[in-house]
Chains A and B, each alone.
Chain A
Amino acid sequence: MASLKIKNLHKSYSSVEVLKGIDLEIEDGGFLVLVGPSGCGKSTLLNTIAGLEEITSGEIQIGGKSVEGLHPSKRDIAMVFQSYALYPNMTVAQNISFGMDIRGIDKAEQKKAIDNVSSILQIGELLDRKPSQLSGGQRQRVAMGRALVRDPQVFLFDEPLSNLDAKLRVDMRTEIKRLHARMGTTIVYVTHDQIEALTLATKIAVLKDGYLQQFGTPDEVYNDPKNVFVATFMGSPSMNLIEAVVAKKGENLVIQIASNDNNRFELPIKNIAALEDYVGKSVLFGIRPEALTDREGADRTSDQIAHQDCMIEVVEPAGSDTFAVINLGGKEAIARLRADAKITAGEQASLAFNMSKAVFFDPASTLRIR
Chain B
Amino acid sequence: MTRSISQDNAVSSSRMTRALIYAVLLVFVFYYLLPLYVMVANSFKPLDEIRGGDLMALPKVWTLAPWASAWSSAQIGVEPTGLKPYFINSILIVVPAVFLSTVFGALNGYVLTKWRFKGDGIVFGMMLLSCFIPFQIVLIPAAKVLGFLGLAGTLKGLILIHFSAGIGFSTLFFRNYYAAFPTELIKAAQIDGASFFQIFRRILLPSSAPIIVVTVIWQFTNQWNDFLFGASFSGFGTTPMTVALNNLVNSSTGVKEYNVHFAGAILAALPTLLVYIVAGKYFVRGLMAGAVKG
Assess the B190–A85 pair: CB atoms within 8 A: no
Contact for A52 among B182, B190, B193, B207, CB less than 8 A? B190
Quote the shortest CB–CB distance from B232 to chain A (angstroms).
43
Known contacts A85-B182, A85-B185, A87-B185; A102/B206 CB under 8 A: no
Residues of A within 8 A of B194 (CB): 98, 102
Q: Of A73-81, A226-234, A317-325, A344-352, which binds chain B?
A: A73-81
Interface string of B149-188 (1 = CB under 8 A from A): 0000000000000000000000000000000001011011
Residues of B within 8 A of A52 (CB): 187, 190-191
Q: Which residue in chain B gives the minimum CB-CB distance to A43?
A: B184
Q: Is A85 within 8 A of B188, CB to CB?
A: yes
Interface residues of A in 87-141 (CB under 8 A from B): 87-89, 98-99, 102-103
Min CB–CB distance A47 → chain B (angstroms): 8
A82 nearest CB neighbor, chain B only: B184
**Chain B residues within 8 Å of A79, by CB:** 187-188, 191
Taking beta carbons and an 8 Å cutoff, which residues of A are in contact with B? 47, 50, 52, 71-73, 77-79, 81-83, 85, 87-89, 98-99, 102-103, 146
- How many contacting A-B pairs (Cβ < 8 A)? 55
Nearest chain A CB to B18 CB, angstrom units:
35
Chain B residues whose C-beta falls within 8 Å of the C-beta of A83 in the assembled complex? 182, 184
Selected from A77, A81, A146, the residue in CB contact (under 8 A) with B184 is A81
B95 at the binding interface (Cβ < 8 Å): no
Q: Is A81 a contact partner of B188 (Cβ separation < 8 A)?
A: yes
> A88–B203 Cα gap in the complex (Å)?
8
Question: Residue A87 contacts which of B189, B190, B193 (CB distance < 8 angstroms)?
Answer: B189
Chain A contacts of B8 at CB under 8 A? none
Asked whether, in the complex, the Cβ of B191 is within 8 Å of the Cβ of A89, the reply is no
Chosen A-B contacts, 22 in total, with CB atoms closer than 8 Å, are A47-B187, A52-B187, A52-B191, A71-B190, A72-B187, A72-B191, A73-B193, A78-B191, A79-B187, A82-B184, A83-B182, A85-B184, A85-B188, A87-B203, A88-B185, A88-B207, A89-B203, A98-B189, A98-B192, A99-B193, A102-B192, A103-B193
How far, in Å, is B91 (CB) from chain A's closest CB?
31
Q: A82-B184, A85-B182 are in contact. Are A77 and B191 (CB under 8 A)?
A: yes
Name the B residues within 8 Å of A89 (CB-CB). Answer: 203, 206-207
Residues on A with C-beta less than 8 A from B185 are 85, 87-88
Q: Kindly report which residue of chain A lies nearest to residue B184, judged by CB atoms.
A: A85
Bound-complex Cα distance A282 to B200 (A) = 62
B24 to chain A, nearest CB (A): 39
Is there contact, CB below 8 Å, between B188 and A73? Answer: no
Which residues in A have their C-beta under 8 angstroms from that of B206?
A: 89
A140 to chain B, nearest CB (A): 14
Kindly state whether residue B198 has any CB partner on chain A within 8 Å.
yes
Q: How far is the CA of A88 from the CA of B188 in the complex (A)?
A: 12
Given contacts A47-B187, A52-B191, A98-B194, could you give 17 more A-B pairs where the C-beta distance is less than 8 Å?
A50-B187, A52-B190, A72-B191, A73-B191, A73-B193, A79-B187, A79-B191, A81-B187, A82-B184, A85-B187, A87-B189, A89-B203, A89-B207, A98-B192, A99-B193, A102-B192, A146-B192
The CA of A83 and the CA of B182, in the complex, are separated in Å by 9
Quick one: closest A residue to B192, CB to CB?
A99
Q: Which residues of B contact A50 (CB under 8 A)?
A: 187, 191
* Contact in complex: A73, B192 (CB < 8 Å): yes
Give Cα A103–Cα B206 distance, bound, in whole angstroms.
Answer: 20
> Which 8 residue pairs are nearest across A and B when measured between Cβ atoms?
A73-B193, A99-B192, A89-B206, A85-B184, A85-B188, A81-B184, A102-B193, A72-B191
When distances are taken between beta carbons in the complex, the residues of chain A under 8 Å from B187 are 47, 50, 52, 72, 79, 81, 85
